[in-house]
Structure 1
Amino acid sequence: MPDRLGPSDAALAAGGLLDVLGVAAVVVDEKGRIALWSPPAEDLFGYACDEALGRGAVDLLVGADRRDAVLEAFDRVMAGEGTWAGAFPARHKDGHTVLVEMRNMRLQASSGTWYALGIASSRATLQRVERDLALSVRMVDQAPIGLAVLDQDLRFVLVNPALERINGVPAAGHLGRTPGEVLPHLDVAAIEDRMRQVLATGRPVLEDFTTGYTPHDGGEHAWTSSFYRLEDQVGRVLGLAISVIDVTEQYRQSLAAARARRRLALIADASIRVGTTLDLAATARELTEVIVPEVADIAAVDLLDALLPGAAGNPNDGGPPAFRAMALKAAQPTAATAAADPVGEVTHYHAQRLVTQAASGAHPVLVPHVSAGDLPRIARSDQAARLLAEAGVHSYLAVPLTARGQVLGVLDLKRTRNPAPFDRDDSLLVTELAARAAVAIDNARWYQHQRHTTLALQRHLLPPRHAPHPPGLAIAHRYQPASATDDTGGDWFDTIPLPGDRTALVVGDVMGSGINAAATMGQLRTTTRALARLGLDPGDLLTHLDTTTRDLGDAMATCLIALYDPATGRCRLADAGHPPPVLTRPGHAPHPVPLDPGPPLGVGGLPFPAHDLTLRPGDDLVLYTDGLIEVRDQDIDQRLHALTDLLAGSRRPLDDTCDLLLAALRRPDTHDDVALLIARVLATPADSSDPSSDPSP
């Protein structure tokens, strides 16, 4: 469709309001005869053209009761005394009266002859048009949605009051301007592109969603807009109509609902991801990994050092609190991490520091907008404050980690890249996360206390690391607790000196874990030493030890006893459900010693057979607990082969052999203790004089 019409297009462009009104034109000469009769007049009055031309207009259209008044009005018009207008009841061909809106005026032809022009339209049609126009104007003015009309150059030609309120600009500020000129603070380039596409194609755009900031309140708003092309009756493009609905409230509610869903998901995620182990450092790291980057750009966990296992301080001694940095997490590399307390380091915080205030007051400390004056209270030093400023820290939140009524430490949060400040909702969310994490941290703390106590008890009950070597033997041993906090406890080893230079070698494993297992182990070790000194045979000794175990209640244990006499080289062994020892002899492949094991201690009623083994100088007897070889994903025979393969090859010092076995066979995630005892037979003076004897290693 062309933008401008030439002369040849005039007929095509005709129409519009006149067609809607149905205007009829009638020309009357000086004598009152009809000289021109238009087709709309035929439609309005019912007379064809040949029926009307030449006839008196008054005779044709006016009833007898109004004849004189009409003739008087006609004379005034023809005399040039003005025009006549008004509602007029005309007579239709079929006899009924047609109420028309009439306009009369005098016309002069080039010949000097005068005529009267009458323009008429149905009064009912005019009333309908007036009613429709008034209704349209009222609808536009009173509509609660924004309405506007733009011309083909996208300039406003009509704006209703609702759009004035939505845009915050009066109608005068719209008219004659484009949307980009009216709303320069919004990115409307894409919107204007869509408007031009609607003008070009005629395809409307419905409910186009837009967000932005308005100048009158500065807040973020949301709108849905629809654009459609306006055309006249013959299809000529007039411009563009737009409707705008302010959906800010719904938008904010949807954002709040989405935010609530994200927060619930975060809390649910934290309940799964935080506290997967009973390790303090791991639990602190898990908390920071949940927080970053969903809530904060940087997160740190600092715990009160006096509450941690092995600490010497007292949290209530009145001095400045000492915090131990347990975890630090940043969403991206930033100078702010260099400003944080190094993980593992203990720092005394001054009373003005916000971390201290959160811990001492047991409530969150929120600084939505960090100023230069706030940084010294956030950072641990002036240099750290400069680093925080360099990193762009603009919002801060410190939340105490409280479990069972006691503050354990503080969760320290900062925002750098996230432009939104921390708010009250963030504080409530982080408080909930901190409360859940604090319980996991407290559990890990108590378990570590138990672990320290158990390890201390166990190490106290085990032989000293550098005990004197028994006659004719070189000894090396290791004890390694379980990696899990609550699995420490029941493994032990012992070397018991006996009369006649004999030595009893013992390894045992109390079933169960924790401090009860450690205490049971101590009782069994003490009983074993006492019974061994009575000169009992290993099988008899295990029988008495079985009785003692049953006296301890539900306790059960495995045990292996080897009684070695250096004078004869004889080693007598008895086994109570324990893995067999491995014999390593120079020039031979290492192999498990074949034994007929009895039941574990505590079962009762079954014997413990004893077996004799002759040891030579240079032989190694390797005793161990099942934590060295038992794993869930491999058969026990495979693990025994792995043990004997490690013992084959070149001879090593005993301590090196212990370290090799633990490094190769011990898994980091094992849930069992390991006790390892290796005895190497030394050459006696008699052995040295016998050329057939093996030399001492």
Structure 2
Amino acid sequence: MTSAEQHPNEPDHPEDTASSPSGLMDLLGVAAVLLEADGRIDMWSPQAEQLFGYTGTEALGQYAAPLLLHPEHQDAAIMLFAQVMETGRGWAGAFPIRHKDGSTRMVEFRNMRLTDSVGDHYALGLATDRSTLRQVERSVALSTRLVTQAPIGLAILDTDLRYLAVNPAMAAMHSVPVADHVGRTFAEIMPGASFRAVEAEMRQVLASGIPVVDQQVVGPAAADQGSDHAWAMSLYRLEDQHGTVLGIANVVVDVTDRYEAARRADRAQQRLRLVARGSARIGTTLEVERTAQELAEVVVPDLADMVAVDLLDSILQTGRTDTGEGPALFRVLAVKTAYPTDAARAIVPPGRLATYHADHPAAHVVRTREPHLISHVASGEHGRIAADPEAARLLAEAGVHSDLAVPLIAREQVIGVMGLARAGNPLPFDDDDVALACELASIAALSIDNAVLHHHIRSAAETLQRSLLPQVSPRHPGLEVAARYLPAQAFSEVGGDWYDVITLRDDRTALTVGDVMGSGIEAATTMGRLRTATATLANLNLGPARILKHLDEIILGLDPYLATCVYAIYDPHHARLQVASAGHLPPVLTGPGRSPELLDLPTGAPLGVGGVLFESITLDLKPGDQLVFYTDGLVETRNNPIDERLNDLLSLLTRPDPSAEDTCDRLLQQLRQPGGHDDVALLIARAE
């Protein structure tokens, strides 16, 4: 026997059983009164007692009209009663009745004729307080109007989360007709991962009764999978007056416009932060490659998944944007990806030269001076953005779907191109991304151009500097000599440091090291003038103090520069050294059996101060004794006291080297810091 056969009258839904009454009848307080054919009261319900004030004992057997109506309304009521009894047609309307307490109340009536089994007629009157009825009617009308016309989406779902009712606004939000909602589950109407959490929250609200209020949900509508919508959703559990859970109410407001506005505002804030970060992080040095790398690090991953920064090679070589007749020749300065990807192998590595076909975004940007945006790179079109077929294959396999190239413009010239691509980021580049990329490229282009200009000026100054320094012979009478010159690193300008070794009469040798205060071509030029003047004065057989005095007078007639200098003359026949200083760091004297020491010289003032007396001292040099002359770039740093660095120099010189050349190399290797911001001139003379 089947379950249906065992329970043939079992209802399909729990709400159809007698144990689940509606509360509406109780709310209306409907009273039932049964009248005999002559108008006397035969039955009187408890609700009638509440409505009219008379108990059953007081009402039963009484004529209804005199008991309940004012005299002026009794004739009309008796006539209506007679019509109902004669015709069998019911009557509905309102009458003012007289309550037992003497007050008058409007009561809504529904009157109908009843016939019993023997053919006798009775009148059944159903009555309720008209003010209560009107209140319920207004509430229903208001609810109906709100449900059907409100822009807020409203839905009722049962305990299985099947739709029982939705209003037109909800149907429009879902892009599903009202009729197609009823009987279908929430998951059927709103499929997809975005709404699984919503379904779980619905079940939680059903279980706990705790509402969810104004929670934002983002996802595609059922019939509009191409774009996201945003809703503010509230969930409430529905119960009857006995506490039985009936289902859940879903109240939804479409906030897509507000959500999109907030997203746009958030993206604008992100762009402002990115531009601010770019302004702070791009151009921290005057190194071309470093500046390009800083640009790449700002762009990835916030704007692009991969980036390449290319500079026209002619800019690096000549400072001009001369692309010639053929394709533009680029030098790749920086490449960065947001994550490990084979697409990186499709990009020319940094430091390499590259040319691109005429349709490549980089070539297009150089020709037009305008950004080149390919929002969607279709399948089979990766050759447009790749240098060669193999690179196109790698980009396609990596999922590159959007490409953007923007010019690097400085001094109204295109000096290079920044190429960006997206693969992991599913969004295509848009006009806002173009504007942001151009802003960052503009910041970087100015810094790169300054770095290139500095590079050319520095190269010219360094070339001039080296051309003015002598080629030192390692052997002089009684001396082994070694010298080194190192320019400042790329982010600083070349200074005016120099050294010289001059052969004098009687086998004597002049040794000098100096430093023109300042940097650049002007400082190098002043250094060349001083070195020339020193060589000329050396042939006049003057002592070190006299030489410095004449140099002081000479520099006063030159550009307003100051210079420090130490000048010494070694006489091998007497093994003596005369030395004088013009504000320069003291040389170091070391030798067998003695600790290295700084020579205690009258320091004097720098050359160019004017009117200063200089003094010389004389000391003996034994075979193996060694003098170390140097400029401040060897020992001065921005982070260490000069006394500490001089002690480091003395400590290094406690260990003898096989030759003066070896000592030069070791001192530079251990004292010269990476990225040194000043030139170094080093001269070592060892007595034989």
The question of 1:170 aligning with 2:177 is answered yes
Tell me by how many angstroms 1:110 deviates.
6.7
Aligned position for 1:37 = 44
Aligned position for 1:495 = 501
Paired residue secondary structure (2:617) = strand
1:536 aligned partner, one-letter code = L
* Closer/same/farther in 2, CA of residues 664 and 418 from structure 1, 3 Å limit: same
Aligned position for 2:355 = 348
**Pick aligned residue for 2:682 from 676, 686, 689:** 676
Paired residue secondary structure (1:505) = strand
Is the CA contact 1:483–1:669 (under 8 Å) kept in the aligned structure 2? yes
Structure 1 CA distance for aligned equivalents of residues 145 and 319 of structure 2? 83
Tell me by how many angstroms 1:238 deviates.
2.9
- More deviation, 326-335/521-530: 326-335
* Closer/same/farther in 2, CA of residues 653 and 375 from structure 1, 3 Å limit: farther
Aligned position for 1:117 = 124
The question of 1:506 aligning with 2:512 is answered yes
Aligned position for 2:488 = 482
- More deviation, 96-105/240-249: 96-105
Tell me by how many angstroms 1:590 deviates.
2.4
Tell me by how many angstroms 1:241 deviates.
1.6
Tell me by how many angstroms 1:72 deviates.
5.9
Tell me by how many angstroms 1:487 deviates.
3.3
Structure 1 CA distance for aligned equivalents of residues 382 and 544 of structure 2? 72
Paired residue secondary structure (2:594) = coil
Equivalent residues in 2 for 1:227-266 (5 A)? 227-266=235-274
**Pick aligned residue for 2:569 from 563, 569, 588:** 563
Is the CA contact 1:362–1:400 (under 8 Å) kept in the aligned structure 2? yes
The question of 1:459 aligning with 2:466 is answered yes
The question of 1:656 aligning with 2:662 is answered yes
**Pick aligned residue for 1:546 from 534, 552, 559:** 552
Paired residue secondary structure (1:580) = coil
* Closer/same/farther in 2, CA of residues 95 and 350 from structure 1, 3 Å limit: closer
Q: Deviations over 1:84-135 (max 9, x none)?
A: 2221535414666644333333445578765432212233433333232222
**Pick aligned residue for 1:578 from 567, 584, 588:** 584
Equivalent residues in 2 for 1:560-639 (5 A)? 560-639=566-645
Q: Deviations over 1:549-608 (max 9, x none)?
A: 111142111111111122222221111111222222223322223322322111122221
Paired residue secondary structure (2:146) = helix
Q: Deviations over 1:406-453 (max 9, x none)?
A: 111011111121111111110000001101111111111111111101
Structure 2 CA distance for aligned equivalents of residues 538 and 66 of structure 1? 142
Equivalent residues in 2 for 1:368-407 (5 A)? 368-407=375-414
Q: Deviations over 1:648-689 (max 9, x none)?
A: 23432222211100011111132211101112223xxxxxxx
1:130 aligned partner, one-letter code = E
Structure 1 CA distance for aligned equivalents of residues 245 and 381 of structure 2? 62
Aligned position for 1:327 = 334
The question of 1:437 aligning with 2:444 is answered yes
* Closer/same/farther in 2, CA of residues 299 and 117 from structure 1, 3 Å limit: same
Structure 1 CA distance for aligned equivalents of residues 233 and 662 of structure 2? 79
Q: CA RMSD in A?
A: 2.4
TM-score (norm. length: structure 2) = 0.92
- More deviation, 316-325/620-629: 316-325
1:241 aligned partner, one-letter code = A
Tell me, which stretches of 5 or more residues in structure 2 are unaligned?
Answer: 1-12
Structure 1 CA distance for aligned equivalents of residues 16 and 170 of structure 2? 36
The question of 1:522 aligning with 2:528 is answered yes
Aligned position for 2:234 = 226
Tell me by how many angstroms 1:348 deviates.
2.9
* Closer/same/farther in 2, CA of residues 153 and 216 from structure 1, 3 Å limit: closer
Tell me by how many angstroms 1:43 deviates.
2.9
The question of 1:104 aligning with 2:111 is answered yes
2:350 aligned partner, one-letter code = V
Paired residue secondary structure (1:632) = coil
Percent identity, aligned pairs only?
Answer: 51
Paired residue secondary structure (2:395) = helix
**Pick aligned residue for 2:672 from 666, 671, 679:** 666
Is the CA contact 1:353–1:379 (under 8 Å) kept in the aligned structure 2? yes
Tell me by how many angstroms 1:5 deviates.
8.5
Is the CA contact 2:153–2:252 (under 8 Å) kept in the aligned structure 1? yes
Is the CA contact 1:199–1:229 (under 8 Å) kept in the aligned structure 2? yes
Aligned position for 2:7 = none
2:552 aligned partner, one-letter code = D
1:25 aligned partner, one-letter code = A
Paired residue secondary structure (1:452) = helix
Tell me by how many angstroms 1:64 deviates.
5.8
Structure 1 CA distance for aligned equivalents of residues 28 and 16 of structure 2? 25
Tell me by how many angstroms 1:289 deviates.
0.5
Tell me by how many angstroms 1:637 deviates.
3.1
Structure 2 CA distance for aligned equivalents of residues 82 and 145 of structure 1? 47
Structure 2 CA distance for aligned equivalents of residues 549 and 65 of structure 1? 133
Paired residue secondary structure (2:252) = strand
Aligned position for 1:367 = 374
Aligned position for 1:691 = none
Structure 2 CA distance for aligned equivalents of residues 290 and 490 of structure 1? 37
- More deviation, 589-598/395-404: 589-598
Paired residue secondary structure (1:644) = helix
Tell me by how many angstroms 1:303 deviates.
0.5
The question of 1:337 aligning with 2:344 is answered yes
Aligned position for 1:446 = 453
Structure 2 CA distance for aligned equivalents of residues 610 and 69 of structure 1? 144
* Closer/same/farther in 2, CA of residues 540 and 106 from structure 1, 3 Å limit: same
**Pick aligned residue for 2:204 from 166, 178, 197:** 197
* Closer/same/farther in 2, CA of residues 172 and 673 from structure 1, 3 Å limit: same
Equivalent residues in 2 for 1:130-149 (5 A)? 130-149=137-156
1:541 aligned partner, one-letter code = I
Paired residue secondary structure (1:485) = coil
1:588 aligned partner, one-letter code = R
Aligned position for 1:694 = none
Is the CA contact 1:484–1:670 (under 8 Å) kept in the aligned structure 2? no
1:617 aligned partner, one-letter code = P
2:263 aligned partner, one-letter code = L
Tell me by how many angstroms 1:630 deviates.
2.0
Structure 2 CA distance for aligned equivalents of residues 131 and 660 of structure 1? 100
Paired residue secondary structure (2:595) = coil
Is the CA contact 1:572–1:611 (under 8 Å) kept in the aligned structure 2? yes
Q: Deviations over 1:122-151 (max 9, x none)?
A: 334333332322222112111111112222
**Pick aligned residue for 1:283 from 280, 288, 291:** 291
Is the CA contact 1:15–1:234 (under 8 Å) kept in the aligned structure 2? no
* Closer/same/farther in 2, CA of residues 58 and 596 from structure 1, 3 Å limit: closer
- More deviation, 656-665/644-653: 644-653
* Closer/same/farther in 2, CA of residues 407 and 164 from structure 1, 3 Å limit: same
Paired residue secondary structure (1:431) = helix
Paired residue secondary structure (1:187) = helix
Paired residue secondary structure (1:596) = coil
Aligned position for 2:303 = 295
Structure 2 CA distance for aligned equivalents of residues 585 and 468 of structure 1? 19
Q: Deviations over 1:316-364 (max 9, x none)?
A: 5333211111111111111122221121112233333211111221111
